[in-house]
Copies of this chain bind each other. A is one copy, B any other.
């Protein structure tokens, strides 16, 4: 796609999330590429259910966060992007390990971004869940690259 190159580094994004949210976020951005991004949530923060599985709401929150991080990485720290809709299919029982979420643009338009997210138990090939997340983008232009001091 003719999407802009990523404008934020991994460190930029993790710092942005640290600053934006009061509560610990649980996940870390671990990879940024053109049109793609990966976040990881450690098993220690997953609040496992009895039986060692991961709750559906935890996976939904992670899918939403991965899509948001992908968008910010590419358009800059525009805090006003808001989730417009999210569809998630739960596919397999999560294992009691870290969860990795891979987000990829289906579209990055002027008004809407549509992101495919695959969630996997760390080290497994088959996804535990798949989500399509749509964000409404603010009509103001993106802020551009972060200043050096950010």
Contact = CB atoms under 8 A, between A and B. Distances in A.
B89 A106 contact: yes
A132 B130 contact: yes
Interface stretch (A8-16, A36-44, A109-117, A141-149): A109-117
Interface in A48-87: 56-57, 60-61, 64, 82-87
Contacts of A57: 57, 60-61, 64
A54 to B, nearest CB: 12
A87 to B, nearest CB: 4
A1 interface: yes
A85 B88 contact: yes
Contacts of A82: 56, 90
Interface residues of A, number: 32
A126 B64 CA distance: 23
Contact of A132 (B1, B47, B84, B87): B87
Contact of A60 (B1, B47, B61): B61
A104 B36 CA distance: 20
Contacts of A106: 89, 91, 127, 130
Given A111-B111, A112-B136, 8 more contacts: A23-B47, A60-B61, A82-B90, A85-B90, A89-B134, A91-B106, A106-B127, A132-B132
